[in-house]
Amino acid sequence: MGPGKRGLLTAALTVVCAVTVLAAPGTAFAAPTPTPAPTPRASGTPTAPAPPPDKDLERVRQKLDGLYHDAAVATDAYNAAEEKAEKQSAEIVALAKKIVEGQQRLKRLKNQAGAAARSQYRTGGLPPTAQFLLSDDPGQFLDGAGLVLQGQSATKKLLGEVTRTQKELREYADDASAQWKKLEAGRKAKAAAKKRIERQIDAAEKLESQLEKKEKERLAKLEEAAALKAQTAWLDTGVLKDVDGKASARGKKAVAFATAQLGKPYVWGAEGPDSFDCSGLTSQAWAAAGHPVPRTSQEQWKQLRHVDVKDMRPGDLVIYFGDASHVAMYIGDGAIVHAPRPGRSVTVAGAGSMPILGVVRPDA
């Protein structure tokens, strides 16, 4: 990223922080506004119930974080099952084609064997060997010897092809059966993951629905404060001091795609174009850059090359939490773009606002 673009990005982030757009958990820079003290009322005047103290809201915030984290883990499992199902379905289709082709080949071979049997019947049932041995003509004897050898070779080859084709058909059928079993197991895993996702999200939404408007506003400020604290602690380590990597050509394309999705809602399992989950955003961004990557954050962590944080550059993927359940794209100047969680939209956040597991590079 050049100095001009870096300056623009820094300025943009400053404005974003100032208006507290980054209000998602782990996505805000703005410091929290102090909660005003309640105004005393005259004696005897009915008063509204006192709102819960911030320590209670902090417990709510932590509970919500846990519920949405569990939903993210289940989403990764759902996406993995979906990806496996697609591959297994494609393999089953390929095996079915091979079985059809094998059956057609076997039919042709059987027709050839039948033709040979009919030819033998027309010659009185005598095999070519007996026919040439009974011949009195030396020339016919020699010609017959050659034909017998050719016939024996052809018959052996024909039988070999029939045997080989039958063996292949059995193997294809066994493979198809195994793939069907895997597909069924994957379907059950996908259904179970979907139930877990819906259960966690429903619990989180129910918890949030019990809060009053002012409590939700204060909760948002606690979330902002937690994100700011984490980002500040990360920056205070001096981690960005040596980070000056420039984006590759494909990395620039990936960043351009990801940032073009700002404001689109998070929907679990979504890969665009109107909504995304975290790994749906990063995988589609790199697909748009011409370099496909694994669909899930856990597989991105497993399969892509790991790079040190000090060596990261725009376009790299930042993997979060010990179970690699969240992923974002680094866009420079200590910032990321990501799809945070249900109820939020694709946004820009501080790279250190969540616990970083590591950084991976798709186009290493």
Report the catalytic residues: 278, 326, 338
Specify whether the CB–CB gap between 328 and 282 falls below 8 A: yes
Rounded Cα gap, residues 57 and 50, in angstroms: 13
Residue 278 contacts residue 326 (beta carbons within 8 Å)? yes
Q: Which residues contact 293 (CB under 8 A, 6 or more apart)?
A: 282, 283, 286, 287, 300, 303, 304, 317, 362
Beta strands at 347-350 and 305-307: parallel, antiparallel or unpaired: unpaired
